[in-house]
Amino acid sequence: MSIQWYPGHMAKAKREVQEKIKLVDFVIELVDARAPESSQNPMLQQVLQQKPKLIILMKKDLADENKTEHWMHYFHNQGHKAAAVDVNRKQDINHVIQQAREISQATVDKMVRKGIKPRAMRAMIVGIPNVGKSTLINRLANKKIAKTGDKPGITQKQAWIKVKNEFDLLDTPGILWPKFEDEIVGYRLAAIGTIKDQLLSLQDIAAFALQYIQVHYKGVLKTRYGTDASTDDMVELFNDIGRQRGALQSGGSIDFDKVADIVLGDLRSGRLGRITLESPAE
């Protein structure tokens, strides 16, 4: 899959992450709970491994709870702290702060042993576009600091933000890597809305999502769209969904683009249920 989305501010952001990593005590890496590994930027992993890391699985309210638990164990086994977050749950935000406090305690203890008055810990927060970084920052700081939106690429420069009296947080723009070596990664990210819709065929992305759901979440399409059509015949499945949802063109034929838009909208909003598009076993 050839997807080119690497504007100048992202190239600059990568350089700044490399430059500023030495200023922080640990890293908070945000991933999307619906595709935790696919939403990790491989381009940054070598840079980030220089520091202790807290991995936050965002949008847990849209993800499969069992698979989220599996992913938490997976990241713990890799030696990282991990937390799943719904930004609208205060207890989840408090848990992030507690995890950050624990991960920075070793540095604080080292300062005390040296007779140095402990300073506020410093963390860098990173993640791909549209993972919910700005919203989480606003919740952590308990006020609106970072711009938020449902489109990728809102944050375009770094900024230091104080989180209560706990630690200072360096915000960074969402960074996507230039090319997906595995096209399935591109499909997963497109399905959950990380990649701008204009860059890909919505029909292809919807077809990928429908195929995955038919295999891993049997009965969901029947419940939502009243269809028994198999993904072996994607034309029949699109036609069934289109008829059920009134996605018609003049003359009565099915508007496949509209069907794709309906399916992806239902997936991204959670109207299809809590769905995760990959598991550690896969």
Q: Are residues 209 and 119 in the same domain?
A: no
Domain end among 150, 171, 192: 171
Is residue 184 situated within a structural domain? no
Could you tell me the two tokens for 17? 């992450």
Is residue 190 situated within a structural domain? no
Q: Are residues 27 and 162 in the same domain?
A: yes
Task: Enter the DSSP assignment of 145.
Answer: -
Q: Are residues 229 and 157 in the same domain?
A: no
What domain count does the chain have? 2
37: domain range? 8-171
Pairing mode, strands 121-127 and 26-32: parallel
Q: Are residues 220 and 159 in the same domain?
A: no
Across 35-101, the runs of DSSP E, i.e. the strands, are 53-58, 81-84
Q: Are residues 138 and 58 in the same domain?
A: yes
Tell me the β-bridge partners of 81: 54
Q: Are residues 161 and 226 in the same domain?
A: no
CA distance linking residue 86 with residue 81, whole number of Å:
17
Residues 206/207/209/211 CA torsion (nearest 10 deg):
160
Residue 150 confidence (pLDDT): 43
Is residue 226 situated within a structural domain? yes
Domain end among 171, 192, 221: 171
CA-based end-to-end distance of the chain: 20
Is residue 277 situated within a structural domain? no
Q: Are residues 261 and 137 in the same domain?
A: no
Could you tell me the two tokens for 169? 């947080």
> What order do you get walking across the sheet with 26-32 strand by strand?
81-84, 53-58, 26-32, 121-127, 167-171, 159-163
- List per-residue pLDDT tens for the chain, 282 residues long: 455 555 555 667 677 788 888 889 999 999 999 999 999 988 788 778 778 999 999 999 999 999 999 999 999 999 999 999 999 999 999 999 999 989 888 788 888 898 988 888 899 999 888 899 889 999 998 876 654 344 333 344 557 888 877 788 988 877 777 667 788 998 999 999 988 777 678 999 999 999 999 999 999 999 999 998 888 899 999 999 999 999 999 888 999 999 999 999 999 999 999 999 999 987
| CATH code of the domain in which 242 resides | 1.10.1580.10
Task: Enter the DSSP assignment of 131.
Answer: S
Is residue 278 situated within a structural domain? no
Angle between helices 202-216 and 183-191 (to 10 degrees): 90
Q: Are residues 156 and 42 in the same domain?
A: yes
Tell me the β-bridge partners of 170: 124, 160
Q: Are residues 167 and 64 in the same domain?
A: yes
CA distance linking residue 109 with residue 127, whole number of Å:
29
Is residue 211 situated within a structural domain? yes
Q: Are residues 89 and 134 in the same domain?
A: yes
| CATH code of the domain in which 21 resides | 3.40.50.300
Q: Which one, of 272, 221, 216, lies nearest residue 244 by Cα?
A: 221
Could you tell me the two tokens for 75? 């990241």
Residue 165 confidence (pLDDT): 77
Q: Are residues 147 and 261 in the same domain?
A: no
Is residue 194 situated within a structural domain? no
Residue 147 confidence (pLDDT): 44
Residue 145 confidence (pLDDT): 63
Is residue 19 situated within a structural domain? yes
Q: Are residues 32 and 160 in the same domain?
A: yes
Domain end among 153, 171, 189: 171
